[in-house]
A and B are shown apart, each in its own frame.
Chain A
Amino acid sequence: MAASCAEMEPAAAPRSPGTGELVCARGRNRKAVLCQRCGSRVLLPGAATFARRELFLPSMKKKTALLASSSPDGDVLQDHWLVDDMFSFENIGFTKDVGNIKFLICADCEVGPIGWHCLDDKKSFYIALDRVSHE
């Protein structure tokens, strides 16, 4: 993944290819949002709105995999599902604070980070489209 390129893109860039079938006409998630790894249900269909914002999420890889490859420690991701209430999630985990950020993980298998929350904005919880599956 070209994280460094993504960082340069203008904020008004068009939606990434493929998001069209995931986003309904009212800008909500057409499908349920699931954990890529264990299928745990994160969001019900229609529970979130599509939002673009450049957010850095640390890698989901294990230490061994990270050491083996020279991949970056994370990705800057643009496409997200946004909810304004943490209880909109069906199942989700919150990490401890990293500065003023809490990262979101799968509540069942704890893979992550799949999302991002800033303590300064109590009404924004982001889940990166690239880090979940849709059904």
Chain B
Amino acid sequence: MAKTYDYLFKLLLIGDSGVGKTCLLFRFSEDAFNTTFISTIGIDFKIRTIELDGKKIKLQIWDTAGQERFRTITTAYYRGAMGIMLVYDITNDKSFDNIKNWIRNIEEHASSDVERMILGNKCDMNEKRQVSKEKGEKLAIDYGIKFLETSAKSSINVEEAFFTLARDIMTKLNRKMNDNSSPGAGGPVKITENRSKKSSFFRCTLL
């Protein structure tokens, strides 16, 4: 069957355990229905379809659940990732401090031009807040990354976060394609060819 979508983006959720990454993956977190069987074996990834500027985008979203230690998240996990959500918990200082370590881990293992975004999750729990919104914003500015506070529980900014990241990836892709179509650029690269000659389109600048 012919392809029924315009773009396919692989996204990763990264951050300390307990920050609510998995919850960002479902629309009705309180309503989640974990059967005995499903919660025992665990979830690998999800596919979601969104529409942006009239384009149909398939998001393949991976959660690190259960392998959060920096040591165990290496190149294999990051392979092909086009966008990464860096998630901390606003009620947990440590998880915020660790964002810097996660960014270092990404720089070490992921493609250099992967789109990133920082999310301060659990913003519905203001009474237990340990990390101010300003602190989150400052960190994001320091790294030149976008930032949102989210609540998976109250469905605040969750969709916005995924849409924003997807839009940034799409913009970057389109810009690259335009750059590459001009003479003297690094050769013709189309998204449909990203697995052909070069091992990965997104790794070009890394080599």
Contacts and interface: CB of A to CB of B under 8 A. Distances in A.
Physical interaction between A and B: yes
Interface of A: 37-38, 40-41, 44, 47, 58-63, 66, 84-98, 102-103, 105, 107-113
Interface string B32-59: 1111111001111111110000000010
A109 B33 contact: yes
B205 interface: no
A55 to B, nearest CB: 15
Given A58-B37, A89-B47, A107-B47, 10 more contacts: A40-B27, A62-B35, A63-B35, A87-B5, A87-B47, A91-B49, A93-B46, A111-B33, A111-B35, A111-B38
B43 A98 contact: no
Interface of B: 1, 3-5, 8, 25-28, 31-38, 41-49, 58, 60
Main secondary structure of the interface of A (DSSP, over half): loop
A60 B38 CA distance: 9
Contacts of A58: 35, 37
Contact of A66 (B5, B36, B41, B58): B36
Contacts, number: 98
Nearest to A101: B41
B41 A103 contact: yes
B1 A88 contact: yes
A61 B37 CA distance: 9
Most buried by B among A62, A85, A97: A62
A92 B33 contact: no
A102 B42 CA distance: 10
A97 B45 CA distance: 11
